[in-house]
């Protein structure tokens, strides 16, 4: 496509991919065939007309990109989404097999540094039409008022540039649009205007054991809010979605459409309103004019380089790929905040062996929740956490058990024979932003010739205190529940921060509407804009921000 | 060793309680053929097999589950799982250095190649690697504890992804077409094997 390689005059194009590592060069020469286009019915989209200018390009189709894609399409705009990963039909392509489902994860290598290196891949990073929601556990608690004003409450961390009132209408809309199953009233926020549209999902073994033990200890629990359907539900753009069958495989992909991943909710809605989704489209370059406005996006698809001109860009690639693209393109960097303040939720797990026959593969993994620990009275740390019961798939469990306990030989096999008697609890806790935790581009190149990201993460004093508090409490709960051979696994989940939102371009990358301070037609919407980590699972809040960002953008168009 | 009857997963795989995609993934692992190493040199591959046989011993199986072929295949294809400890070299280099380190440790501790050692001494070498105390110059270039963790995790995953290992631990989650109605403790469905003690 020679036309597309000719840059317009004045267009800045700082990306110069090259492969330096001889080993990688060899790998590429041996196996370097690019992803091939789907065959049969699913043909790749025709290449765009190089002179065609669409209203909006959206990079990424996960929780950050999909809701706004639908919103913008419904407003009548011409929108194109570029998704790095493939499009799958979950009903026929998904196996109930952890290894076979590895295609759901972002498997390009990231370098994990610091004293608590964060695991990526299946731990937190997805790819494909639907992004990480294809493998999220679909925990959908709302953030609390206090989560957004951590600095006001504790003098640590930062406040969000707006309060919970800004998010609440979107939480309501999302819960009803996606059909979230959960308790009404919500025990830790009883004054909500609207309840959940569906009753909670049933409790599995781990959830019931935790429920009983917490009752003994005076800890309030409740069936959790979860974006899997407890009854069939009508979804605009796609039709009826069937109820969850308790197959317990949420983290490796739902094959019946019960879980509200983006591929069965916002993306079909967006397409029904004219949005175009291009799969297998890996963005490498973002082009600007001399005034600094974005004019086009360049991506690789099926071995070809394609350029799509646009009036506006929404960058929704997640808290690793979003800052990586900004850095590669030297875009929106003046605040000095791109890549900074990388946060990961403390997610300590406590496991135990029970006399009961539990079969941890049945039911949604996290059936039961407690938010009594949102602001624990005896806390020696800022912020708080929530508690969740956990069921687990066998390969994931065996792998992290090997890492965490270092059991090997006969001891490993003897322990794993008890798989059906094992249940866990974990936490999801707030994480304070810290200057020692950040993303940078390394000198090592990946198979595309682009620098691998390196992420530094060290749990600071606040996270360590929270971990200790939580581990002690969870051990008490599991002892009360009758567990033996109790052990804890320190881990960190979710990828947050790296392009923070704030009131001033001096210390933030995007303004409270999600627009980049440096670039007039660039919006960022994913977990990278979170100023603080929140004490709840992030997906619902990312989706709420996504709808809000679209509404702010559309309001600006009318003005 | 197992508390569950034999043949449970294999019997379910041929029923319509398993989807075609699931069946394809699991049947593929049951089809055994001898893997000829393509990434590793034959000698290094034999060493990795011997190490794996101590990390996940299978004295109860006439035909052990092959948990090493997948490592050779993955390294040949240059595939990753999304991340790597920054302190570690790339995976191919890590395995080469680490297996070389095990050879050095065996020579230093017992003056023999790892493959020639009796099981108890092989275990002593691996215990030293796991504890981070194994001798060998390669460990100056490779964080020993991280190498052990990475290798153990990969071999463990390969083992428990196998249908026969899943039979061993009483896992039948792959037979999920009918869904699960009985999910409380002690409530089994007909296709879930009862534990025998």
Judged by a CB distance cut-off of 8 A, whether residue B42 touches chain A is: no
The two three-digit tokens of residue A29, written as one number? 């020469």
Q: What is the Cα Rg of chain B in Å? A: 19
Q: How many domains does chain A divide into? A: 1
Q: What is the mean pLDDT of chain A?
A: 93
Looking at the domain assignment, is residue A5 inside a domain?
no
Nearest to B22 among A95, A406, A417 (CB): A95
Chain B residue numbers touching A97 (CB-CB < 8 A): 22, 25-26, 161, 174
A96: nearest CB among B19, B55, B83:
B19
Do residue B166 and residue A249 have CB atoms under 8 angstroms apart? no
Beta strand pairing call for A368-370 and A385-390: antiparallel
Find the residue in A nearest to B159 (Cα): A395
Give me the mean pLDDT over the A115-129 stretch. Answer: 94
Yes or no: say if A314 and A519 are a contact pair by the CB < 8 Å rule: no
Confidence bin at A236 (pLDDT 50/70/90): confident
Q: What is the rounded average pLDDT of the residues A352-373?
A: 97
Give residue B151's Cα distance to chain centre.
9
Partners of B180 on chain A (C-beta within 8 Å) are 245-248, 362-363
Where are the alpha helices (H) located in A410-535, listed in sequence order? 410-416, 461-480
B2-41 burial: b if 16+ Cβ within 10 Å, else e = bbbeeebbeebbeeeebbebbbebbeebeeeeeeebebbe
- For residue A553, the enclosing domain spans 52-88+137-558
Interface of B with A in 53-82 (CB under 8 A): 54-57, 77-82
Contacts of A111 in chain B (CB under 8 A): 83-86
**Per-residue confidence at A237, pLDDT binned at 50, 70, 90?**
confident
In chain B, what is the greatest distance between 2 CA atoms, to the nearest angstrom? 59
Q: What is the CATH number of the domain that holds A251?
A: 3.50.50.60
Q: Identify the band that residue B32 occupies on the pLDDT scale cut at 50, 70 and 90.
A: confident
Complex ipTM, two decimals?
0.98
Please indicate, yes or no, whether the overall pTM of this predicted structure exceeds 0.90: yes
C-alpha distance from A134 to closest chain B C-alpha (Å)? 16
Tell whether the torsion through CA atoms of A377, A137, A401 and A464 is positive or negative: negative
pLDDT of A4 > 90? The answer is no
Q: What are A463-509's pLDDT values in tens digits?
A: 999 999 999 999 999 999 999 999 999 999 999 999 999 999 999 99
Over residues A282-332, the pLDDT tens digits come to 999 999 999 999 999 999 999 999 999 999 999 999 999 999 999 999 999
Pairwise CB contact (< 8 Å): B184 & A27: no
CB contact under 8 A, B173 and A95: no
Mean model confidence pLDDT for chain B: 97
Residues of A in contact with B171 (CB under 8 A): 361, 394, 419-420
> Which residue from A minimizes the CA distance to B75?
A27
The arithmetic mean of pLDDT across residues B126-142, rounded, is 98
Can you give the pLDDT at residue A447?
Answer: 86
Domain ranges of chain B: 35-161
Per-residue pLDDT for B96 more than 80? yes
The 10s digit of each residue's pLDDT in A150-163 is: 999 999 999 999 99
Question: Do A137 and A366 touch, CB atoms closer than 8 A?
Answer: yes
In sequence order, the 6+-apart residues with CB closer than 8 A to the CB of A459 are A115, A116, A346, A467, A492
Q: How far is CA A4 from CA A17, A49, A56, A442, A483, in A?
A: 17, 10, 19, 29, 63
* CA A99 and chain centroid, separation: 20
- pLDDT of A5 > 80? The answer is no
- Whether omega for the bond prior to residue A185 falls within 30 degrees of 0, making it cis, is yes
Residues A242, A247, A251, A254: is their CA dihedral positive or negative? Answer: negative
- Which residues of chain B make contact with A447, given a CB cutoff of 8 A? 78
Find chain B residues with C-beta within 8 A of A398's C-beta.
156-157, 159-160
Question: B97-116: per-residue pLDDT in tens?
Answer: 999 999 999 999 999 999 99
Whether A115 is in a domain gets the answer no
What percent of chain A has pLDDT above 70? 91
Query: Cβ of A245 and B54 within 8 Å?
Result: no
- Whether A1 shows a pLDDT value over 50: the answer reads no
Mean pLDDT of A15-38: 51
Size of interface A-B (CB pairs under 8 A): 190
pLDDT at residue B109, rounded to an integer: 98
Q: Of A111, A359, A399, which has the smallest distance from its Cβ to B192's Cβ?
A: A359
A49 sits in the region (left: phi over 0; alpha: psi -120 to 50; else beta) called beta
Q: List, for residues A514-530, the tens digit of each pLDDT value.
A: 999 999 999 999 999 99
Q: Is residue A416 part of a domain?
A: yes
Q: Which residues of A touch B160 (CB under 8 A)?
A: 394-395, 398-399, 416
Residue A548 lies in a domain: yes
Predicted confidence at residue B31, as pLDDT, reads 85
């Amino acid at each position: 496509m020679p036309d597309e390689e000719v840059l317009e005059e004045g267009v800045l194009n700082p990306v110069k991919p090259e492969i330096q590592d001889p080993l990688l060069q060899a790998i590429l020469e041996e196996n370097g065939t690019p992803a091939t286009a789907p065959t049969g019915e699913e043909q790749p989209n025709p290449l765009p007309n190089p002179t065609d200018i669409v209203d909006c390009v959206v990079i990424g189709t996960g929780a950050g990109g999909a809701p706004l894609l639908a919103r913008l399409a419904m407003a009548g705009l011409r929108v194109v989404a570029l998704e790095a990963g493939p499009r799958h039909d979950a009903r026929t392509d998904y196996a109930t097999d952890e290894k076979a489902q590895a295609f759901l994860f972002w498997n390009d290598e990231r370098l994990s540094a610091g004293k608590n290196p964060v695991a990526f891949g299946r731990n937190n990073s997805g790819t494909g039409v639907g992004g990480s929601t294809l493998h999220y556990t679909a925990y959908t608690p709302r953030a609390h008022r206090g989560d957004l004003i951590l600095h006001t409450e504790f003098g640590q961390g930062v406040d969000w540039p707006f309060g919970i009132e800004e998010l609440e209408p979107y939480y309501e809309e999302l819960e009803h649009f996606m059909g979230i199953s959960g308790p009404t009233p919500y025990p830790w926020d009883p004054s909500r205007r609207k309840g959940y549209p569906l009753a909670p999902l049933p409790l599995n073994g781990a959830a019931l054991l935790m429920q009983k033990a917490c009752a003994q200890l005076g800890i309030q629990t409740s069936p959790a809010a979860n974006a899997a359907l407890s009854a069939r539900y009508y979804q605009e753009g796609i039709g009826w979605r069937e109820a969850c069958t308790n197959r317990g495989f949420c983290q490796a992909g739902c094959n019946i459409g019960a879980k509200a991943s983006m591929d069965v909710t916002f993306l079909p809605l967006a397409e029904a309103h004219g949005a175009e989704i291009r799969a297998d489209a890996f963005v490498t370059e973002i082009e600007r004019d001399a005034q600094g406005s974005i004019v086009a996006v360049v991506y690789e698809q099926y071995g070809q380089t394609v350029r799509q001109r646009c009036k506006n860009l929404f960058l929704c690639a997640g808290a690793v790929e979003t800052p990586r693209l900004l850095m590669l393109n030297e875009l929106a960097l003046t605040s000095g905040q791109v890549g900074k303040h990388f946060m990961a939720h403390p997610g300590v797990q406590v496991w135990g062996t029970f006399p009961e026959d539990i079969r941890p593969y049945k039911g949604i993994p996290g059936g039961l929740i407690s938010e009594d620990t949102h602001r624990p009275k005896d806390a020696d740390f800022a912020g708080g956490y929530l508690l969740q019961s956990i069921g687990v798939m066998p390969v994931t469990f065996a792998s992290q058990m090997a890492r965490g306990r270092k059991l090997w030989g006969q001891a490993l096999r003897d322990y794993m024979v008890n798989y059906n008697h094992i249940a866990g609890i974990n936490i999801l806790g707030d994480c304070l932003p810290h200057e020692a935790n950040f993303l940078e581009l390394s000198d090592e190149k990946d198979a595309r010739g682009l620098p691998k990201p390196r992420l530094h993460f060290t749990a600071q004093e606040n996270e360590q205190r929270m971990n200790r508090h939580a581990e002690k409490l969870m051990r008490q709960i599991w002892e009360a529940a009758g567990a033996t051979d109790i052990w804890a696994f320190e881990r960190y989940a979710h990828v947050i921060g790296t392009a923070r939102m704030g009131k001033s371009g001096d210390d933030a990358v995007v303004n409270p509407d999600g627009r980049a301070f440096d670039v007039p037609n660039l919006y960022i919407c994913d977990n990278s804009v979170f100023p603080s980590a929140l004490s709840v699972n992030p997906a619902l809040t990312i989706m709420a921000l996504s709808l809000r960002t679209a509404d702010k953008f559309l309001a600006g168009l009318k003005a | 060793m197992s508390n569950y009857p034999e043949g449970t997963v294999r019997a379910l795989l041929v029923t319509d309680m398993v989807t075609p995609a699931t069946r394809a993934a699991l049947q593929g692992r049951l089809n055994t053929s001898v893997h000829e190493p393509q990434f590793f040199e034959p000698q290094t591959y034999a060493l990795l097999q011997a190490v794996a046989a101590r990390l996940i011993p299978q004295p109860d199986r006439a035909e052990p589950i092959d948990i090493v072929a997948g490592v050779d295949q993955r390294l040949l294809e240059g595939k990753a799982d999304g991340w790597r400890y920054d302190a570690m070299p790339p995976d191919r280099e890590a395995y080469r250095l680490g297996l070389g380190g095990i050879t050095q440790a065996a020579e230093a501790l017992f003056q023999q190649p790892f493959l020639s050692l009796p099981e108890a001494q092989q275990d002593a070498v691996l215990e030293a690697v796991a504890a981070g105390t194994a001798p060998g110059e390669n460990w100056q270039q490779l964080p020993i504890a991280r190498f052990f963790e990475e290798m153990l995790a990969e071999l463990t995953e390969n083992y428990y992804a196998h249908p026969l290992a899943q039979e061993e631990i009483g896992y039948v989650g792959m037979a999920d077409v009918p869904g699960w109605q009985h999910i409380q403790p002690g409530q089994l469905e007909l296709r879930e094997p009862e534990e025998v003690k």
